[in-house]
Structure 1
């Protein structure tokens, strides 16, 4: 059984708790988080999703991603995902953007955070991630232009909103 998530209404108010697989199968609204990680040069870390993932297996995605567990705050979920997927520990994150639940987001209210520039190694979890790389703005522009089908919709969406390289990162 997958972790329980809060199913929410169209205003993001909690309704009930269900396993994530049930909420996703029934296209019920829930919550997800995405976290951006940059190196000392300001390049964005992309993860390649494991081939065993149910959504977008083998596609390139943002640095760390995941669903908010029942009774967990969005920021706590984002901090947990950073630790579980990349082995990165942070005290806090910067909120960048929020997206309403819709078919494009898999019916998740999505919150985008930045961990800023991190130092030290990234220790990927092989159950979650099969590969990873840092890219600069120009490299990501080429990936979006020429390899869109190998990227997650979330990565493309936030690129098109201009939120992945908004200027100098922390």
Structure 2
């Protein structure tokens, strides 16, 4: 919302409720794709439909980005990017600044998600990153192992084996 000297952020109640809903679904153990599918099935419009009516289904990558956005914790961040001129043209290109150069300001009145829920979701995101991020320095290789049918005739649950790091997390199904 425009105001004197710039813009003033205002929390939209319906959107805030949706953000809380997405956070709680992820905290309950649903995946990005399941949350996206559920929102699409419920007929909840995507953020993109406000700009263009093309987007009909929620993208799972959008769910991940919502869960990572510190604004929902009430933290405004400035100075994330620097802009450079492309030589010989009038184009500007952006580059990420080191996180140490970011400017963070706590604005409690903009907090949509409780600190407890935020911490729960961020811990789960971090666990997910450790399991699936192949660039993690302690993980040489991730391999999915499905055991053959055990004596009872039931397959064993899927486990992810992270060699050398000693991690063997069990993923919920």
Q: In which range does the TM-score fall when normalised by the shorter chain?
A: under 0.3
Indicate the structure with greater strand content. Answer: 1
Indicate the structure with greater helix content. Answer: 2
TM-score, normalised with respect to structure 1: 0.25
